[in-house]
Amino acid sequence: MAQNFAHGNYSHTQKKARNSGGGRTPVDRARRTLSQNFLVDGHAVELMIKAAAPEGLVLEPGSGEGVLTFALAEAGAQVVTYEVDPRLAGRLASRTRDDSRITVVRGDFTAARAPREPFAVVGNIPYAITSKIVDWCLRAPALTSATLLTQREYARKRTGDYGRWSLVTVETWPWFHWRLGDTVGREAFRPVPSVDSAILRIERRPEPLVSGRRSYQELVELGFGGVGGSVRASLKTRYDGVDAALQAAGVARDAVVGHVHPDQWVTLWGRLCR
């Protein structure tokens, strides 16, 4: 079954070809315009399915040629897949016309209304709008998890693999656990992109780690504000008892914000905001 929605961009970006001359077919031009890089490696698909452990309702941003779509359905998921390329969407809709496990939506995943029932997101997503898709997932109240094949650098940054933590991760940590999964080399895609990918797993926690969303986020945003060059200097502009809170959290007095683990922020919130 296929539906029509607004178009967006769903596949991995790639470097522009040095030669922009002729010789390209309409399909080649469409792939270039939509930055399409399809997942073609069976082992990479297996890694995605293992990480996602799909069941129930699964939304897939960017079905492409349907390799991951069929794997999700075979694993037991009820798949609603979004594809912006009308040619690809039409082809997949035709192939799945009699398959009750798969619904093909022609259009922009990020423009879709999130289901009210529990659901997961699994997809090989475009580098160019990775943050937009992640933000959509984090805002969806019924989302249980997101398993996303992203640029490896992005996945490492969001999961603290560089030894530093980003604002997005810290700010959402009480509600979501971020985990870096397997690396998927660039050779697993066609056309081949310029960088490797990795599996990013975002899981909603059964219970939040803090009881005050606004007070926690205000604390974190102040810390990331950069006043004075350290977490201590930033927090002392508004809170009392900062030194004792830092000691309880195991945070050095001169620590810069990116080096503070999300769990330490939870402890700081417990000492300064409760």
- What residues form the annotated binding site for S-adenosyl-L-methionine? 37, 39, 62, 83, 108, 124
Rounded-to-integer distance, Cα 136 and Cα 109, Å: 9
Q: Which of 94, 183, 80, 182 is nearest to 123 (CA)?
A: 80
As given in the structure block, the two tokens for residue 85 are 């390329």
Q: What is the amino acid identity at position 174?
A: P
Annotated binding residues:
37, 39, 62, 83, 108, 124
Which runs of E-coded beta strand occur in the chain?
A: 2-4, 38-39, 56-61, 77-83, 102-106, 119-124, 143-151, 176-184, 189-190, 197-204
Alpha helices, DSSP H only, in 148-201?
A: 152-158, 167-172
Residue 181: which of 218, 206, 154 has the closest Cα?
154
Cα 82 to Cα 103: distance, rounded to the nearest angstrom: 9
Q: Which residues pair with 176 in a beta bridge?
A: 204
